């Protein structure tokens, strides 16, 4: 169930906290998200900060069917998604009051000090120790962006609230696009150019800090809905190949995540990155003869077979693996040049080549045969299949990035990310899925993206047509391509030997 995004802002008098809250509301309205804001004023200039509490429901009103979410008027301890503070001790005060949760809260705060009345009244040095506040913030927050926002605001001729706003958007944890936030600043009409300059500066610092950070606070911001997908994908790719392959997967997804945020973001869950991560992991773990041999020789599978036939510990179970690899499967493990050379000679035979194999894996010879195939995992990166799959993966990802980079085509990028579901299975199913995706990518390349208002619907229609018709006739109609003739399917009559 979708939950509201909760935001707590602590700002001192004269630092534009109220304006920041208005910007957040305006940006949420631009996305048609239900939003509510409340505030509690501080007693005096430095006796206490004015706190603003905003809740945003990241689902457009048009999708709620007339229903309205019920918001809370005050923040609850451990239930804040984003905590912003314009001064270090005020950020620490938010932690002290229990609003920051280590598995949920992103803290965006300035590290400069505005000494409180109690600090100034002390007979000796009554200043709070800044390093303790910094340690507490880094320990307690899931994501931490800390830098001197006051100094950056001075350098850009603006107020600290603009820098803090940009830094919050730069983390990617808000369900708001950069475009809508900048539009909110422009709509306010208050020192627009200086405010946009401060916003951009804070945004850039947050992005760079998160990219270069190597600590547990999160070198990369991973929204809650995306973390499980990426972890599952990393586990799958590591099991399929190795840890380096899993790191390549993570790097690709994280790069797309930053790109989606930079290009306008959208909802906090980053749906384009989430769906891409899901199908990318499955695609990178494509089924080949190496993978099949690996799965069939695992101890867990042998134990599963014994369990399925209810074998007792003293029973001998004979296992025969029925394999029928085609010419393409056999060529796929060859180096690219050799595979291409061999594939060219396939035209010499019109009949498909399939080799039926019955391998007894309960014997040393049969088991070692599959182990030999499994050992090719080390050289998989140098096979023709690996190259061809990853060439198409790169084309798919590049097309998604192009759509994200084009204004108002985020939904089209989302539909294209979902099209990764076309490439699945093995053999003819996999080949057909590749062909269908290539047709959709080619159609996207032919479109004028500056005037492609209906592109999202077109991609969705094409994807659904490809999934509904294995012969590709509906897909061709959806893309305006020549409709292929029905595939020739011979009918073979087999004599019933018993009847004869």
In a domain, 91, yes or no: yes
CB 20 within 8 A of CB 165: yes
E strand residue ranges, 269-392: 320-323, 357-360
Q: Is the pLDDT of residue 85 over 80?
A: yes
Structure confidence at residue 347 as a pLDDT band (50, 70, 90): very low
Residues 310, 243: one domain? Answer: no
Question: H or E segment at 108?
Answer: strand 106-110
In a domain, 497, yes or no: no
Looking at 355, 382, 409, the residue that finishes a domain is 382
Strand partners of residue 85: 10, 109
Which tens digit of pLDDT belongs to each residue from 36-46? Answer: 999 887 654 45
Residues 391, 348: one domain? Answer: no
The CATH number that applies at residue 82 is 3.40.920.10
Distances, alpha carbon 381 to alpha carbons 249, 252, 327, 329, in Å: 14, 17, 20, 15
Strand partners of residue 321: 359
Domain, as residue range, for 257: 224-286+387-479
Q: Strand, helix or coil at 228?
A: helix
In a domain, 463, yes or no: yes
In a domain, 493, yes or no: no
Residue 9, class by beta-carbon neighbours within 10 Å (0-12 exposed, 13-18 middle, 19+ buried)?
buried
Residues 277, 293: one domain? Answer: no
Residues 110, 207: one domain? Answer: yes
In a domain, 218, yes or no: no
Distances, alpha carbon 483 to alpha carbons 178, 360, 466, in Å: 43, 46, 13
Report the distance separating Cα 296 and Cα 227, nearest Å.
30
Residues 201, 259: one domain? Answer: no
Which tens digit of pLDDT belongs to each residue from 157-170? Answer: 999 999 999 999 98
Helical axes 224-240 vs 271-284, angle rounded to 10°: 10
Output helix, strand, coil percentages for the chain, rounded to the nearest 5.
55, 10, 35
Residues 432, 360: one domain? Answer: no
Q: What is the mean pLDDT of residues 207-216?
A: 61
Give the rounded distance of the alpha carbon of 408 from its chain centre: 19
Which tens digit of pLDDT belongs to each residue from 396-449? Answer: 999 999 998 887 888 899 999 999 999 988 888 888 999 999 999 999 998 888
The stretches of 9-105 forming alpha helices (DSSP H) are 17-30, 88-96
Q: Which is higher by pLDDT, 264 or 146?
A: 146
Report the distance separating Cα 228 and Cα 235, nearest Å.
11
Domain count for the chain, please give it: 3
pLDDT at residue 128, rounded to an integer? 80
Encoded tokens for 470: 């294995």
Which tens digit of pLDDT belongs to each residue from 183-210? Answer: 999 998 888 999 999 999 999 888 877 7
In the block, which residue shows the tokens 């080799």?
355
Structure confidence at residue 303 as a pLDDT band (50, 70, 90): confident
Residue 410, class by beta-carbon neighbours within 10 Å (0-12 exposed, 13-18 middle, 19+ buried)?
buried
Q: Is the pLDDT of residue 498 over 90?
A: no
CB 264 within 8 A of CB 177: yes
Residues 344, 432: one domain? Answer: no
């Amino acid at each position: 169930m979708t939950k509201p995004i909760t935001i707590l802002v602590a700002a001192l008098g004269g630092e534009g906290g109220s304006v920041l809250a208005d910007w957040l509301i305006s940006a949420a309205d631009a996305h048609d998200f239900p939003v509510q804001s409340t505030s509690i004023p501080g007693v005096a200039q430095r006796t206490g900060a004015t706190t603003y509490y905003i809740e945003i429901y990241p689902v457009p009103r048009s999708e709620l069917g007339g229903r309205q979410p019920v918001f809370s008027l005050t923040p609850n301890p451990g239930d804040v998604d984003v905590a912003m503070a314009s001064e270090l001790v005020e950020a620490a005060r938010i932690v002290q009051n229990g609003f920051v949760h280590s598995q949920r809260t992103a803290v965006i705060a300035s590290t400069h000090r505005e000494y409180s009345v109690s600090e100034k009244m002390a007979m000796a040095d009554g200043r709070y120790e800044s390093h303790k506040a910094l340690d507490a913030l880094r320990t307690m927050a899931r994501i931490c962006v800390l830098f001197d926002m006051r100094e950056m605001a001075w350098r850009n001729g603006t107020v600290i609230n603009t820098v803090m706003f940009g830094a919050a958007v730069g983390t990617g944890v808000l369900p708001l696009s950069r475009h809508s936030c900048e539009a909110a600043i422009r709509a306010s009409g208050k020192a627009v150019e200086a405010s946009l300059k401060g916003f951009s500066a804070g945004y850039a610092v947050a992005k760079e800090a998160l990219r270069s950070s190597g600590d547990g606070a999160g070198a990369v911001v991973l929204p809650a809905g995306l973390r499980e997908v990426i972890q599952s994908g990393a586990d799958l790719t590591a099991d399929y190949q190795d840890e380096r392959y899993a790191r390549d997967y993570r790097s690709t997804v994280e790069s797309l995540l930053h790109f989606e945020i930079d290009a306008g973001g959208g909802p906090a869950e980053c749906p384009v990155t989430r769906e891409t991560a899901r199908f990318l992991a499955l695609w990178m773990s494509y089924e080949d003869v190496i993978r099949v041999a690996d799965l069939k020789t695992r101890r867990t599978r042998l134990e599963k077979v014994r369990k399925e036939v209810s074998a007792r510990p003293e029973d001998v179970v004979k296992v025969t693996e029925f394999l029928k690899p085609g010419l393409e499967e056999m060529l796929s493990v060859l180096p690219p040049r050799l595979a291409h050379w061999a594939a060219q000679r396939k035209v010499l035979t019109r009949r498909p080549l399939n080799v039926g194999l019955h391998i007894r894996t309960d014997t040393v010879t049969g088991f070692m045969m599959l182990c030999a195939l499994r050992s090719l995992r080390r050289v998989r990166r140098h096979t023709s299949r690996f190259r061809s799959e990853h060439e198409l993966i790169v084309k798919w990802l590049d097309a998604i990035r192009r759509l994200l980079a084009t204004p108002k085509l985020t939904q089209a990028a989302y539909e294209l990310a979902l099209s990764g579901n076309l490439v699945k299975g093995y053999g003819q199913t996999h080949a057909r899925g590749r062909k269908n995706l290539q047709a959709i990518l080619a159609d996207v390349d032919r479109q004028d993206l500056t005037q492609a208002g209906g592109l999202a619907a077109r991609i969705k229609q094409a994807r659904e047509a490809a999934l509904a018709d294995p012969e590709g006739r509906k897909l061709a109609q959806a893309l305006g391509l020549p409709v292929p003739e029905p595939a020739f399917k011979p009918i073979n009559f087999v004599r019933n030997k018993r009847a004869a």
